[in-house]
């Protein structure tokens, strides 16, 4: 085991004085990779105070100068792309290609921050009244807090802290205690790029640290990704303490398959979208809605999923890796049993999965249920594992009713050859991110990640223009300038803007 993971305070790594640590394990072997310290109150106060001081200087830095630093940062991330992918794979269990993809999607957000001058541009209207002009511009808020999950330890931190900092703020990052090594490395490269020390700080710990940081008066905004119950708690706590909050929560994403869809394309996409990353992503397809005669495709879907196998991150044929922890594996297997108990047909059972050479890994094989109904637990709960539920629908209207009655609204997709069906689906579905013949419609960073309903709590979403609005406040200025040759205004003169 390596030495205990340091905190990242004031631009340097420091060993925590805390006597509490959280083991970080390799999910394929259960070997302890390191231990994450549970930061003390004094250390968190110190981080926030130094971040506030850094913010007071940074907010005056020209956006063009910020952009040049982000150009250096994105290049460093690219230079260390494979190294970051390997580190991420070791602590998450993701296969190497998936791990590198995690890093790359984060790099794409950083690339967008190289365009921060344009993203910060305000609005102007001349002559709103005679001789009067109005313009608006945005200003940063202060110190942002980012609380990020285990399933994307590169991408999701890079959703938040680069955007917050590009907009002129400082940031405290509290990554998942289950895989904190990758975020530490991201912070190290951030300072290597030339950013001022203390602009980004990394605090490790668990619930106690999150609660303290959320309630601290020095925090201006809170960004969170995680489960629905925790997202609700974070959102309520942050807003009750008068902070701006964006909380991304759970999902139950449906893929609707129409009879005119290309069968092989559908099956190929269902396999990757349902069990990729071991199903541990909020945009995974966990329900396929088979419309009309596509209900006869169950056997073909089962055969395709049966060819997929998990494995260690460095095995070239590994389709995905282990679940993050023994507790996660036990939960997924319990939900599989509930599906059986409640009457769903278990077409493919991933329990008891073994990977040669890694007997202690948190393995769950591809799992497929058919004859699933909306009243079943496996339909209602986010399983967060490699489990696909097949639901039948008579037509597109019935499929839309299923999706719109579900409490989640993160992502959905429709596979069809009909433009009319696609247009109807896009218009009527109550989901924030929609794919047409694309299974996982995660937008690139010049758009925003726009989950709806119980998949998101807040007003402004992650990355893109909405994120810039989240991390800034708008100031509107109305001005009038007098010409030396103009007559002075009388005492009763006023500007009528109505």
Q: Between the CA of residue 215 and those of 46, 133, 237, 459, what are the distances in Å?
A: 15, 40, 7, 20
Q: Which residues have a Cβ under 8 Å from the Cβ of 166 and sit 6 or more positions away?
A: 63, 66, 67, 70, 113, 116, 119
Please, where are the H alpha helices in 114-225? Answer: 116-119, 155-166, 181-192, 207-215
Q: What's the token pair of residue 223?
A: 């960004």
Name the residue among 481, 465, 480, 497 with its Cα closest to residue 138. 465
Q: Which of 200, 247, 248, 244 is nearest to 471 (CA)?
A: 244
Q: Are strands 123-129 and 132-140 parallel, antiparallel or unpaired?
A: antiparallel
Does residue 171 carry a catalytic annotation? no
Instruction: Give dist(CA 86, CA 364) in Å, integer.
Output: 22
At 283, list the tokens: 């945009």
DSSP three-state, residue 309: coil
Is-contact 160 112, C-beta < 8 A?
no
CA-CA distance, 441 to 492, in Å (whole number)? Answer: 59
Q: How far apart are CA 257 and CA 271, in angstroms?
A: 14
CA distance 296 to 266: 13
* Tokens 């009388």 -> residue: 490
Give pairs for 443-447: CB < 8 Å, separation 24+.
444/108, 445/108, 445/109, 445/111, 445/112, 446/112
Cα(479)–Cα(134) distance, rounded to whole angstroms?
6
Catalytic residue among 247, 282, 353, 389: 282
Tokens found for residue 228: 């629905």
DSSP letters, 213-250, are HHH-TT--EEEEES-HHHHHHHHHHHHHTT-EEEEE--
Active site residues: 282
């Amino acid at each position: 085991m390596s030495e205990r993971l340091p905190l990242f305070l004031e631009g340097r790594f420091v060993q925590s004085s805390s006597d509490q640590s959280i083991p970080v394990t390799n999910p394929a072997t259960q070997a302890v990779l390191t231990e994450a310290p549970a930061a003390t109150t004094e250390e968190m106060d110190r981080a926030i105070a130094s971040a506030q001081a850094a913010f007071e200087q940074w907010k005056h830095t020209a956006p063009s100068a910020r952009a040049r630093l982000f150009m250096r940062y994105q290049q460093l991330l690219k230079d260390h792309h494979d190294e970051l992918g390997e580190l991420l794979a070791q602590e998450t269990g993701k296969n190497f290609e998936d791990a590198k993809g995690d890093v790359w999607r984060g790099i794409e957000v950083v690339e967008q921050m190289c365009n921060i001058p344009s993203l910060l541009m305000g609005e102007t209207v001349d002559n709103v009244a005679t001789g009067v002009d109005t313009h608006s511009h945005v200003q940063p808020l202060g110190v942002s807090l980012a609380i990020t999950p285990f399933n994307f330890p590169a991408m999701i931190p890079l959703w938040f802290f680069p955007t917050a900092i590009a907009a002129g703020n400082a940031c405290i990052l509290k990554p998942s205690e289950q895989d904190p090594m990758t975020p530490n490395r991201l912070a190290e490269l951030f300072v290597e790029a030339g950013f001022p020390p203390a602009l980004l700080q990394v605090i490790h710990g668990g619930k106690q640290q999150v609660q303290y940081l959320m309630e601290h008066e020095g925090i201006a905004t809170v960004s969170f990704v995680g489960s629905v119950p925790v997202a609700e708690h974070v959102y309520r706590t942050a807003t009750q303490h008068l902070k701006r909050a964006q909380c991304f929560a759970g999902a139950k994403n449906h893929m609707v398959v129409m009879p005119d869809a290309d069968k092989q394309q559908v099956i190929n996409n269902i396999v990757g979208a349902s069990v990729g990353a071991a199903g541990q992503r909020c945009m995974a397809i966990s329900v396929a809605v088979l419309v009309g005669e596509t209900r006869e495709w169950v056997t073909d879907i089962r055969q395709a999923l049966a060819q997929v196998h998990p494995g260690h991150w460095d095995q070239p044929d590994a389709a995905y890796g282990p679940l993050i922890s023994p507790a996660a594996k036990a939960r997924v297997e319990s939900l599989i049993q509930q599906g059986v108990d409640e009457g769903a047909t278990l077409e493919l059972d991933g329990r008891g999965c073994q990977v040669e050479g890694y007997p202690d890994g948190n393995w769950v094989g591809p799992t497929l249920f058919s004859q699933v109904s909306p009243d079943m637990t496996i339909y209602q709960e986010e399983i967060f594992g490699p489990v696909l539920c097949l639901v039948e629908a008579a037509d597109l209207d019935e499929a839309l009713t299923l999706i719109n009655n579900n409490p989640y609204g993160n992502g959905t997709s429709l596979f069809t050859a009909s433009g009319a069906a696609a247009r109807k689906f896009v218009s009527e579905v109550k989901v924030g991110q929609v794919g047409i013949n694309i299974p996982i419609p995660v937008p690139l960073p010049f758009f925003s990640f726009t989950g709806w309903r119980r998949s998101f709590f807040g007003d402004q979403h992650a990355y893109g223009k909405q994120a810039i609005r989240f991390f800034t406040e708008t100031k509107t200025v109305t001005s009038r300038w007098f010409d030396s040759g103009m007559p002075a205004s009388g005492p009763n003169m006023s500007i009528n803007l109505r």
